Amino acid sequence: MLTMGSFLLALVLLIAVHEYGHYRMAVACGVKVVRFSIGFGKVLCAWTPKGSSTEFVISAFPLGGYVKMLDEREESVALEERHLAFNTQPLMSRAAIVAAGPLANLVLAVALYSLVSWIGVDQAAPILAQPSQGTVAAQAGLIGGERLLKAGLDGSELQEVESFERLRWYLTQGAVEGLNVRLVAKSTSMGQEREFLLKTSALKAMEPNAELFATIGITSPYSRPVLGELLVGGAAEKAGLLRDDVVLAVGATPVVDAKHLRQLIKSSVVDGEVVSAQWRIERNNSVLELSVKPELKREGEILLGKLGAYVGARPEVVLVQYGALGGLWRGVEQTWEVSSLTLKMMGKMVIGEASLKNLSGPLSIAEYAGKSADLGLTSYLVFLALISVSLGVLNLLPLPVLDGGHLMYYLWEGATGQTVSEVWIARLQQVGMLFIFALMLTALFNDLTRLLG
């Protein structure tokens, strides 16, 4: 119920804002709006506000909406109302009315991102876990435990980084745009600041997914190598380990963080047998040494060591919050960044540098809506902002049947002084419909593959 409810709320809100943008601009330009509809199909509810000539409608299928304006191309218009028809308006007015829908979605995104910035969000602190050997981060000289201070792409000014999520955004941008990422970090053990260069430009053919971050070597924030709940009869309990023990070293290897400790435990298998090691631990401000022998477990065809205990403390959390003006500017920045990245990813899909598997359809969107709503208000607001940006950017693409396609017609009209013929519009509309239908089928196929895979 939560998934369906949050999905329907998102649909209605985003569609209503989009169509309201068209509606308000049409009214401002002196165009008569006959009907404002949320959804298609059977009319469930209709009303006409006092003093208005517009019928507002809610229909059965909320997968879209429309604003029907007085237009001589669709129906006969009385002579005394001809000045109110859409097709009789100046070129700039028609273009403004068409562009107002997508722009309303982008304005909504700014408002939502700003609201999240004003409310504040608890996010993981930008402290880095140990990168795996051979990864981009390891090659740059990062060893784990560094607190990130600033980041930026090649050719841009370094900006303060307030959270681990912000760092992931820079890494995503670097990979998608084919640019290196520069970091300024401070070692928590030595207290020295250093600049690091992550050569993400070499990863420009990769897509922003879990594989990308694994290749870079920055997958999760720093977590202290402390033990949590122990399984009764497990290897940890048998070795005399206790909850809240901090692991300092395994054998002669100092433990950097929880991720490193889990890797050492898994790799404790030699020639099909688990090897015990002397662990140095901190307990109640005292340092102890215990002999620990993990259990042998098989995962598929791989033999791994298992400790029988939860490993890792909750990462350090920081409150990311902005004031009135700072939050508004942050909303503008995030909307621009997401819009830019969306366009670049679309471009990569067109030229074959990114997989069409990145397309998500209604099933995935519904799933994400439910998950974000379950996580809390701010997560759901961020989800709404992201979908609103996607809707705004998609509708501005120069494809027939989309708002951007109509803007292309007006661009042609402005450049040549001639309108696009009805014959050509009909042909282009057919091509556009086929393209959009193909995208929808691809997105739906991706949804089913994710759900059933």
Residues carrying an active site annotation: 19
Residue 210 to residue 216: CA distance in whole angstroms: 10
Chain centre to alpha carbon of residue 301: 35
Residue 270 to residue 275: CA distance in whole angstroms: 7
Residue 356 to residue 349: CA distance in whole angstroms: 6
Pull the structure tokens for residue 390. Answer: 């996607």
- Strand runs labelled E in 334-437: none
Residue 312 to residue 398: CA distance in whole angstroms: 50
What is the SS3 assignment for 191?
coil
Residue 202 to residue 163: CA distance in whole angstroms: 25
Q: Is the dihedral of CA 402, 405, 410, 414 positive or negative?
A: positive
Residue 446 to residue 424: CA distance in whole angstroms: 33
Is residue 149 within 8 Å of residue 228, measured between CB atoms? Answer: no
Angle of helix 377-395 relative to helix 324-351, nearest 10 degrees?
50
